[in-house]
Structure 1
Amino acid sequence: MSARRRGRGGFPLHHEEHLGDHRSWRLLHARYLARPRSAKAGNSRLPVPVIFGHFALAAVGLVVWIIYVITDKGALAWTAFGLLVPVALLGFAMLARWIPVYRARSAAAAAGQQSEPAERYFPVPVVAGHGLFAVVTVLLVLLTALGIGGS
């Protein structure tokens, strides 16, 4: 019997490699949620309904897309695309609110502000990668719904 090295949760180490994507998502949200919030209004520029709506619509779109892949019904591809449009709009709204907060990072540090928005600590590569994958996903779903590149 070979002794395999085990990682967190008792999984063999080669299984942990596949969990990397989930870890980056959890890291992004954990950093956002772990930051203390003061009672002042405007502590965060990302409203909870926008964040939840972005996530919920993306999750529903993913489920619809999986059903499309299984059934190959064109209406489901268009439904998935229709769900991605508001997901993208909410994502752009969050990006537009995040950019000034991130740019104000050095000004806030110089002023010694105690109350800083949690989203200021989102890692730029994670935000950029999320946006890049989102654009590619929307384009691929649109091309598939149009029947371009199909067999």
Structure 2
Amino acid sequence: MDIAALVAWVVTALGGFVLLARWISRGGLRQQQTGTTRFPAPLVLGHFLLAAAGPVVWIVHLAADRSALAWSSFGVLVAVALLGFAMFARWVPLYRNTAPATVGDAGAETTPAERHLPVPVVAAHGLLGAAALVLVLPAALGLGGG
């Protein structure tokens, strides 16, 4: 179960990296000044940094077999999930209520960067993140073995 949690976490992180790169490439950081984006940079970057640190702590837990590290990883993962839910809650109404901008569209600069996030990647990222959370908890409790 420990390795399954790590795999789910790493695949989730890869999807998250795709989403972060897409958000930045579509002007998410530049839109902070104009208020076009609904994703504040501290929210996005905090989610990313915690999500990057969590698997490192989990790997150290796997190597050292320390219960405290497993619980630390779980705590980080809960924080990452809460930040992710906050972004998801901001993204859903935006995605439902605005049409995607097209190439050469004059309104493309006023379209929030998160409008360009691919729905399948968002869905897979969230589901795999939930799977990681579900796998890390029993492992932290010492259930299921490695």
TM-score, structure 2 as length reference: 0.77
Determine if the alignment matches structure 1 residue 47 to structure 2 residue 37.
no
Distance 1:70 1:148, change over 3 A: same
Moved over 2 A (4+): 20-31, 34-42, 105-109
Percent identity of equivalent pairs: 50
Q: Which amino acid aligns with 2:73?
A: A
Residue pairs, 1:6-85, within 5 angstroms: 25=16, 27-36=18-27, 37=30, 41-85=34-78
CA distance in 2, matches of 1:88, 1:21: 11
Rg (Cα) greater in structure: 1
Corresponding residue to 1:124 among 115, 119, 123: 119
Deviation at 1:25, TM superposition (A): 5.0
Structure 1: tracts of 5 or more residues without a match: 1-19
Q: Which amino acid aligns with 1:33?
A: I
TM-score, structure 1 as length reference: 0.74
CA distance in 2, matches of 1:85, 1:99: 21
Deviation at 1:106, TM superposition (A): 3.1
Deviation at 1:85, TM superposition (A): 1.1
CA distance in 2, matches of 1:22, 1:83: 14
